[in-house]
Structure 1
Amino acid sequence: MKINIDIDDSHEETRITIQAKEWTQELQELVNMINKKKQQRLPGVNQEQTVLLEPKEIDYIYAEKRKIYAVSKSSHIEVKMKLYEVEEFLISYDFMRFSKSVIGNIHRIEKFEASFNGNLCVYFQSGSKEYITRKYVNAIKEKLIQGGQ
């Protein structure tokens, strides 16, 4: 992908042009990020109180028994959104799908190791660990190699 930025006083408004051979998922994600107003924090519920979670402090989000939870260093907090909604909300913070029921923050990964069945076991800075299923391993490895860009 090639990016050109032209900063000039003569431009009256910001304009974005994307030129591509075909429509891809990557282009869709770019358009979603550009169009979306970035909300700063993710609302969650802890002991009947609403708390605001900083995305950069969340290790991963997972679904269990029809509920969604955000895991950080110190807590598991319920999020009153559907997993796909959380994924869309957090895509601009470099969260990626790890499995059918888990979305992870790639910036919080400390190390990872390959499992015998083709999955990856990732360890987060907080000490938590989670597994990436084979379906998502290549995309995660590619993103990690690029340094999260």
Structure 2
Amino acid sequence: MTIQQIQTLIVDDEKYSREELIFLLDSYPEITIVGQASTGQEAVAKIMELKPDLLFLDIEMPGMTGTEVASVLKEMQTPPIVIFATAYPQFAIEAFQVQAKGYLLKPVDEKQLAETIQHIKALINMTQTQENPESTNGKLALEAEGTIQFLEPKKVLYVYRDDKNTKVVTSEQLFETKLTLKELEARLTSFSFFRVHKSYLVNTHYITEMDAWFNGAYQLSIAGTEEKIPVSRNYVKPLRAKIEL
């Protein structure tokens, strides 16, 4: 499987919901729809047959629920990435307890879907890099004022967007680059970086504390700096799922 072709299965007992999501996903050339299922039992059978990379899964379905399907998938050697798509926000905690990697509320918001697809691509890139560890030996090249500085990713504490520039922060120095946060996210995901806010990437190795802030958002304490890093509420549960044992 390559990052340009993510084999995807859509599971929802409502035909309209399946068709709407397929329509929205048509904008992403890297997504290939390999099948649909309308029940949990049918989903399990098709997963075993088609071995998709990605599963968009409804939760409330007659018979076998989406979380029950996800629990079965945990026993697979190489389970698909699970993204729940549901009209019921109260199932969020239960979804992440069965190792879901994302949670979309129906009707699906296009911006949230775009962020989810970006997250999926980063997860797949990380998995591929872990399978080929020699690809993690590179250094981050930062061009500034006619020079190119090479930085070891493990020394970076966090990265953030400031107006038109991107700042790369280590415990000793601050670097500027014209690379976008999205470009840096693609390059750094395999080095344990995680997007916690639309303007911040954090090296999860340096996270020491997460404090409640307001409206479901949090702030991170990072070893090596006194700065507090904001965590948007949409990223709190995926972040905890990534860093907690």
Report the TM range for the smaller structure's normalisation: 0.7 to 0.9
1:67 matched to 2:165: yes
Distance (Å, rounded) in 2 between the aligned partners of 1:22 and 1:121: 27
TM-score by length of structure 1 reads: 0.73
Distance (Å, rounded) in 1 between the aligned partners of 2:216 and 2:183: 28
Residue in structure 2 matching 1:28, options 115, 124, 128: 124
Map of 1:143 onto structure 2: 242
The structure showing larger relative contact order (alpha-carbon pairs under 8 Å, at least 6 residues apart) is 1
One-letter amino acid matched to 1:73 = S
> The residue matched to 2:136 in structure 1 has which SS?
coil
Map of 2:229 onto structure 1: 130
Percent identical pairs in the alignment equals 25
1:49 CA displacement? 3.5
Q: Structure 2 matches for 1:1-149, cutoff 5 A?
A: 19-20=78-79, 25=120, 28-30=124-126, 32-33=128-129, 34=131, 37-45=135-143, 49-127=147-225, 128-146=227-245
Distance (Å, rounded) in 2 between the aligned partners of 1:91 and 1:21: 19
Contact 2:126–2:189 (CA<8 Å) still a contact in 1? no
Q: Is there any run of 5+ residues in structure 2 with no aligned partner, and where? A: 1-73, 84-119
Distance (Å, rounded) in 2 between the aligned partners of 1:88 and 1:32: 13
Map of 1:11 onto structure 2: none
> The residue matched to 1:28 in structure 2 has which SS?
helix
Bigger fraction of residues in helix: 2
Map of 2:37 onto structure 1: none
Question: Pairwise CA RMSD of aligned residues?
Answer: 2.8
Contact 1:43–1:79 (CA<8 Å) still a contact in 2? no
Q: 1:39 to 1:67 in 2, by over 3 A?
A: farther
Contact 1:69–1:77 (CA<8 Å) still a contact in 2? yes
Q: Is there any run of 5+ residues in structure 1 with no aligned partner, and where? A: 5-18
